[in-house]
């Protein structure tokens, strides 16, 4: 994968003044952990949980996740049992800190050297997001953390990204967002922000790819782009 032409950056016509990070799948290698959680819960419920269904949930907040599953299954009893077993396995599978993605620490160092503020905008609930970042030694490196349960509409709506920018008084068109999911890319673009995508478990569709400034192999490649645009 290589970056697209910098259409979004050309539109902004200025250096970025803030960086907004997604968390799961972008900074932390957690989507595979979630996959394990869902598979374990599904086994307890004696059902299948196809990969395609998990892909529908990537980047979505908790409320949207349960709405989507409720619509797919149309079985309130099954949904409630699955929710209960998910909570159980979530606690077990996330007991240890998840791995940090390749290139993250070096990227954070680069942004800090340029004295550009950075914040987190994650669909994960606050009660989970803050301890997860703390366990990984990352929480202190961000000016703020905005979470999925703080906004009425989750990704792919722009609300979470706009909230994240507001926490540091940044103008949306001066923010660059780093995302791994299609929902995140769509939401960041809708917020009027430039977005760099580093796909994790699912490659973007052509339509989503067009919304991103570039689609990158890893945060190592994103660092090269940001070194000249911050």
CATH no. for residue 207? Answer: 3.40.50.1000
In angstroms, the Cα distances linking 117 to 78, 120, 197, 211 are: 44, 11, 19, 24
Shared domain check, 77 and 111: no
Distance CA 214, CA 228 (A): 14
Last residue of a domain, one of 56, 71, 93: 93
Shared domain check, 219 and 111: yes
Q: Is residue 206 part of a domain?
A: yes
Shared domain check, 119 and 44: no
Q: Is residue 123 part of a domain?
A: yes
Of the candidates 22, 24, 64, 159, the residue annotated as catalytic is 22
Per-residue pLDDT, 146: 98
Contact 212, 197 (CB under 8 A): yes
Shared domain check, 105 and 74: no
Q: Give the SS3 label for residue 12.
A: helix
Q: Is residue 214 part of a domain?
A: yes
Q: Is residue 2 part of a domain?
A: no
Q: What domain range is 20 assigned to?
A: 7-28+99-227
Q: Is residue 1 part of a domain?
A: no
Last residue of a domain, one of 51, 68, 93: 93
Q: Is 29 a catalytic residue?
A: no
214-215 sheet: strands from edge to edge: 145-147, 118-122, 18-21, 175-179, 194-197, 214-215
Closest CA to 1 of 186, 150, 203: 203
Per-residue pLDDT, 14: 55
Question: What's the average model confidence in pLDDT over 114-125?
Answer: 97
With tokens 């917020």, the residue in question is: 191
Shared domain check, 104 and 214: yes
pLDDT in tens, 142-186: 999 999 999 999 999 999 999 999 999 999 999 999 999 999 999
Question: What's the average model confidence in pLDDT over 203-228?
Answer: 95
Provide the terminal-to-terminal Cα distance of the chain, rounded to the nearest Å: 23
Radius of gyration of the chain from Cα atoms? 17
Shared domain check, 218 and 107: yes
The total number of structural domains in the chain stands at 2
pLDDT, mean over the chain: 93
In the chain, pLDDT over 70 holds for what percent of residues?
A: 94
Shared domain check, 104 and 52: no
**Residue 146: strand pairing partners:** 121
Residue of higher predicted confidence among 111 and 13: 111
What φ, ψ does residue 2 adopt, rounded to 5°?
-135, 160
Shared domain check, 208 and 114: yes
Shared domain check, 184 and 112: yes
Last residue of a domain, one of 93, 120, 142: 93
Shared domain check, 43 and 18: no
What φ, ψ does residue 160 adopt, rounded to 5°?
-65, -40
Question: What's the average model confidence in pLDDT over 2-12?
Answer: 42
Shared domain check, 81 and 44: yes
Question: What's the average model confidence in pLDDT over 64-92?
Answer: 96
Shared domain check, 213 and 116: yes
pTM of the model: 0.90
Q: Is residue 202 part of a domain?
A: yes
- Spell out the alpha helix ranges (H) of 121-215: 126-135, 159-167, 182-190, 206-209
């Amino acid at each position: 994968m290589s970056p697209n032409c910098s259409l979004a950056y050309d539109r902004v016509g200025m250096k970025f003044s803030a960086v907004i990070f997604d968390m799961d799948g972008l900074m932390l290698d957690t989507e595979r952990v979630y996959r394990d959680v869902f598979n374990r819960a599904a086994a307890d419920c004696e059902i299948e949980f196809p990969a395609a269904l998990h892909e529908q949930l990537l980047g979505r907040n908790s409320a949207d996740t349960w709405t989507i599953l409720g619509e797919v299954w149309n079985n309130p009893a099954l949904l409630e049992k699955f929710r209960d077993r998910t909570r159980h396995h979530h606690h077990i599978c996330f007991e240890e800190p998840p791995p940090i993605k390749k290139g993250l620490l070096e990227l954070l160092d680069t942004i800090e050297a340029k004295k550009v503020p950075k914040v987190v905008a994650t669909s994960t609930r606050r009660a989970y997001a803050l301890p997860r970042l703390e366990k990984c030694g990352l929480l202190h490196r961000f000016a703020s953390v905005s979470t999925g349960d703080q906004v009425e509409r989750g990704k792919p709506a722009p609300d979470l990204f706009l909230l994240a920018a507001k926490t540091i008084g940044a103008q949306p068109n001066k923010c660059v967002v780093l995302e791994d999911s299609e929902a995140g890319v769509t939401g960041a673009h809708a917020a009027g922000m430039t977005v760099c995508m580093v796909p994790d478990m699912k490659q973007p569709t052509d339509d989503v790819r067009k919304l991103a400034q570039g689609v990158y192999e890893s945060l190592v490649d994103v660092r090269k782009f940001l070194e000249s645009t911050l």
